Amino acid sequence: MQNKTGFKQWIGLTFLIGFGFMTMGLMDPLYNSYIPLFLSRYIHSNTLIGAVMTLDNVLQLILIPIIAVWSDRTRTRIGRRMPFILVMLPVSAALFLLLPFSAASGIRALVIAIFCFNLFKTSVRGPVVALMPDTIPGEYRSEANGVINMMGGIGAIIGTLILAPLLGPIAEWLPFAVTAVCIVIAVLVLLLFVHERLPDQPETTEETTPVWHSIKTAFTAGHSSVALILVSLFCWFLGYEGAQAFLSKYMVEVLGTTESNATLAMGVVGVAQVIFALPVGYLAHRVGRKRYIRFSLLILTLILALIPASTIMAKSAGLSSGGILVLCLALFFCFGAFWVGVVVNSFPMLWQMADFGNMGIFTGLYYTFSQSAAIVAPPITGLIIDLTHYYGIFVFCALCMLAAFFVMRRVSAGEADKK
């Protein structure tokens, strides 16, 4: 019988695990916002900048599944995920600090630094993400993933609204240095307070299954639902990653913000993520994960169509630049509130069809498809900008969300087990 305390008994542990995910929330917005600006000092083609921005996604496509499966089969006294976290996150922090110094040295140094940083940050992502479903029961993973994403949102807020404005006024390297220190602190929190479930329990006997057989089993576990969810997330990440890659340039070149305020849009998305991440997990548990994801995708389609339409109409009506900025930030906040509903509940749908022995494989499959989208998207949206206008990226993103909405209709597995 299910414990009457429900998710409450797991919430403290989930917050502690969330410190690992918060490091991604700290790094990703700064990286996605300022690396394109650093690259634009040497490269003037948006298409080429988008192509360079896919270097990290290529690494994620290759490394995340490999490292996630490797961690499935790792055996140490501190667990199977923690060894990767203890080594790779601190190295990632040091390389992250080097990025602004490399940008000042030239394009070659910058590209090398980007490659090395993403090599380590990518390798640790799978073990960090798989740590939560390893320890939290399947029926509570939407709520737990809400907590995890809330922690990521807190990291995004700190990175975009607190650290990013330090870029110009004080020193270009300062937000990167503060982030590096926060990452080291997060690693210490995980080491001291999170104790993994050790892989010597009866339910772990399937862990010796060959990798390719485990991948085949992953696709047959939920019949066609696994493949349909993966296609859906490819569609919505195709739109999201394509727009995100040029959002800082949109803020500067279309809305007229300064470079230090280029992360405002991502900042308000992060605020919405923090506010709504936990509630959407609880709500999806009640109404169904699939239903909530499809509802969110439909609303996201409408919001994305409104962003260029409302901006054009506001400019035609003579609204001040400050008023247009506020209007756009309000729409980005709404986007974040519904986008987090998609992110929070899609991973648990896949994990629901996994078991303890192949949790890393399902985590790797998620990133295989999401990062494939992230590789394809920036060059496409860069080309759209070069041929049309920045407004085109939001139309493209809206169409991707709509496609995901229709694919998700056929998913029939992945709901929480309600006992």
Per-residue model confidence as pLDDT tens digits over 378-405: 889 989 988 888 889 999 999 999 999 9
Per-residue model confidence as pLDDT tens digits over 270-325: 788 889 998 998 899 889 999 999 999 999 999 999 998 988 888 888 888 788 88
Residue 413 belongs to some domain of the structure: no
Residue 334 belongs to some domain of the structure: yes
Q: At what angle do helices 8-39 and 107-135 cross, to 10 degrees?
A: 170
Residue 202 belongs to some domain of the structure: no
Integer angstrom CA distances of residue 9 from 78, 135, 137, 284, 355: 22, 12, 11, 19, 21
Q: Is 131's pLDDT higher than 60?
A: yes
Q: Is 77 exposed, middle or buried (0-12, 13-18, 19+ CB in 10 A)?
A: exposed
Residue 404 belongs to some domain of the structure: yes
- Domain residues for the domain of 285 are 9-196+217-408
CB atoms within 10 A of CB 375: 20
Cα gap 373→400, rounded to integer Å: 11
Q: Between these two residues, 267 and 185, which has the higher pLDDT value?
A: 185
Cα gap 288→18, rounded to integer Å: 24
Confidence of residue 190 (pLDDT cuts 50, 70, 90): confident
Confidence of residue 207 (pLDDT cuts 50, 70, 90): very low
Residue 415 belongs to some domain of the structure: no
Map residue 333 onto helix, strand or coil. helix
Q: What is the mean pLDDT of the chain?
A: 83
> What is the predicted pLDDT for the residue at 203?
44
Cα gap 325→114, rounded to integer Å: 31
Integer angstrom CA distances of residue 243 from 36, 113, 304: 13, 24, 10
Sign of CA dihedral 126, 132, 135, 136: negative
Residue 22 belongs to some domain of the structure: yes
Residue 312 belongs to some domain of the structure: yes
Q: CATH code at 45?
A: 1.20.1250.20
Per-residue model confidence as pLDDT tens digits over 88-130: 999 999 999 999 999 889 889 998 999 899 899 888 888 888 8
Residue 159 belongs to some domain of the structure: yes
Give me the mean pLDDT over the 216-239 stretch.
81
Q: How many domains does the chain have?
A: 1
